[in-house]
Amino acid sequence: MRFSRVSTCILALWAGTALADPSPKQAAACVAALHARAEPMAKRMREGDAEAEVQLLPVVTASFAFVGSVYKQGVRGPEADALLKAAEKAQSTVSPDDLARAQDACQAQGQQLLTQANYFERQFVSRAARQRIDKLRGSS
């Protein structure tokens, strides 16, 4: 009986953490990880690979879900830029396997953030992601 109470408490704590908005530092780490995942896809898209855009859109959308979450927390401009720069620096020391695991987790969490967002937030994130894809398509 004691084990089931402890398990229930652990699951409740985990669920609360999983459903909570990420801290600005956590969000910056995920944006950096997803940016690293998106770069090779964007390159392939610019080279004419139509499938790359299909793969890129969910990555960019998840990234913008983190940006929106941090924006709602009041983090903007230089503060957001500094967090992202620190996250990119920290990411440079991570092994490729660990980075891939982080990217998978971040993409799933970003999709969950989007699912939890209201209609207007989802529309804003979707539009921002589409605009970024259009910009990536045009840049070389």
Query: Scanning the structure block, which residue is given the tokens 């940016």?
Result: 35
Q: pLDDT tens digits, the chain, 140 residues: what are they?
A: 344 443 344 333 333 444 579 999 999 999 999 999 999 999 999 999 999 999 999 999 999 999 999 999 999 999 999 999 999 999 999 999 999 999 999 999 999 999 999 999 999 999 999 999 999 988 75
Q: At what angle do helices 119-138 and 50-72 cross, to 10 degrees?
A: 130
118 to 29, 71, 76: CA distances (angstroms): 24, 15, 21
Q: What is the pLDDT of residue 140?
A: 56
The amino acid present at 56, given as its one-letter code, is L
DSSP letters spanning 53-121: HHHHHHHHHHHHHHHHHHHHTT--HHHHHHHHHHHHHHHTTS-HHHHHHHHHHHHHHHHHHHHHS-HHH
Confidence (pTM): 0.84
